[in-house]
Structures are given as C-alpha cells and as structure tokens.
Amino acid sequence: MAQILTIHPKNPQQRLIKQVVDELNADGIIAYPTDSGYALGTVLGNKNGLERIRRIRSLSKRHDFTLMMRDLSHIGEYAKLDNNAFRLLKKILPGAYTFILQGTRDVPKRLLHPKKKTIGLRISTHGVVQAILDALEAPLMSVSLILEGHDFYDINDVREVLENQVDIIIDDGCCPPEPTTVIDLSSGSVEIIRQGAGDTNI
C-alpha cells in the first residue's frame, strides 16, 4: 500500500523530500503533482519501475517516456540539440511543455522510441518537482497519469486507483490535469504535435 505524503510546493519539507528520494533510489515509483496534473515517476535506471509504469498506463514500447529535469544544465547528456533548439528551450522553459528530442547514448534504449530514438523532456515549475529533482541530482523517468475512465484532480482520485500500485503518492491539494504543449524538435524543425492550454510563445 502506498505511503501518502502531504508536501507543500511553496515550502517542501526536506524530511519528506528525503523520504521520496530514498524510495526512488530503492527502485520505487511515485505518483506526484506537476504543473500539468499528476504524473508517474521513477529513477532513470529502474527497469522494473519502468515496466510497472507501463502496466499501470497500459503503454506500448512505442510510447515516448519523458525525462523530468530540474533545469537545462545537463540536457546535453540526454538529448541532442543544436543551438537554435537550445535557444528555444531556454526561452520558454520551465513550464507546461514537453519537447521531443533525439536521445543520446546515455539514455537507456528501453526509454527511447524504438525507431525514432527520441525522448521527451520537461522542466516543471512545480515546487515539489523541483525539490525532488534537486535532492535526487538526476532526472526522473516520467509519464502523465492518464487512465481511461478516470480523472485525477486530487489525492482522493489518485489514491482510489493507485493505492496498491505505487509506493508513494504525494498530495499537494488540487492538481487538475492540464495537458502540456508537445513540441517535436527531433527532425531539426519545430513541429507542434499537441497544443496545451497555454500560449506556446513560439
């Protein structure tokens, strides 16, 4: 049964953040709030956690996972991008955007699209996400929490469905789902695959 942790984004308690990070480093998976709704996450090398997330979401191996990163300082370790792409990311991140980029050799093959070799990348403004990534000192493998027939607006919605499927559920109050804008930069051009609620500023 999942632990329920209440963490306030404006003042995350370090004791609780450490508890989350310890669970992640023990190959756990978490359901956590972001600036675009709840997501599922685990550490980069956790093969078993990746498969658990795939089962929860019923995802095929063609689904792009996202690297949730604290900032752009280490992006070159995980994604290939030219100067124009980097300037675009720097201009509009952080925020509710997911970028599709060519992955580097440091990204586990099981995370990449099997044909395109791409990976999603996000930088969230959410205080809890930033605190976790700061303490973890590495990206999270992440996907949005989307399940057919269910809407996830708060901890009760998440707990009802996932209490026996994840290790930690983080509560920060109301967290309505608001899809990110998805922008594909993997071919060298800018392609908006999905428009989110906000202006893309492109």
Tokens of 168: 């930690």
Write down the pLDDT at residue 132: 98
Tokens of 51: 């498969």
Q: Is the pTM of this model over 0.75?
A: yes
Q: Residue range 117-125: average pLDDT? A: 91
Split at pLDDT 50, 70, 90, the class of 199 is very low
Q: Residue range 175-187: average pLDDT? A: 89
Q: Residue range 163-183: average pLDDT? A: 92
Tokens of 200: 């893309």
Instruction: At 20, give phi and psi (nearest 5°).
Output: -65, -45
For the stretch 142-151, pLDDT in tens is 999 999 999 9
Split at pLDDT 50, 70, 90, the class of 196 is low
Write down the pLDDT at residue 108: 79
Instruction: Identify the three-state secondary structure at position 98.
Output: strand
Contact 5, 170 (CB under 8 A): yes
Whether omega before 94 lies within 30 degrees of 0, making that bond cis, reads: yes
Alpha helices by DSSP H, listed for the chain, are: 14-25, 47-57, 83-92, 127-136, 155-162
List the one residue out of 134, 13, 141 whose CA is nearest residue 70. 134
The yes-or-no verdict on residue 198 having pLDDT over 80 is: no
28-42, 81-95, 182-196: which has the minimum mean pLDDT? 182-196
How far apart, in whole angstroms, are the C-alpha atoms of residue 140 and residue 132? 9
Write down the pLDDT at residue 197: 54
Write down the pLDDT at residue 69: 94
Q: Which is higher by pLDDT, 26 or 197?
A: 26
Cβ neighbours, 10 Å, residue 14: 10
Q: How far is CA 151 from the centre of its chain?
A: 18
List the one residue out of 37, 67, 35, 33 whose CA is nearest residue 50. 67
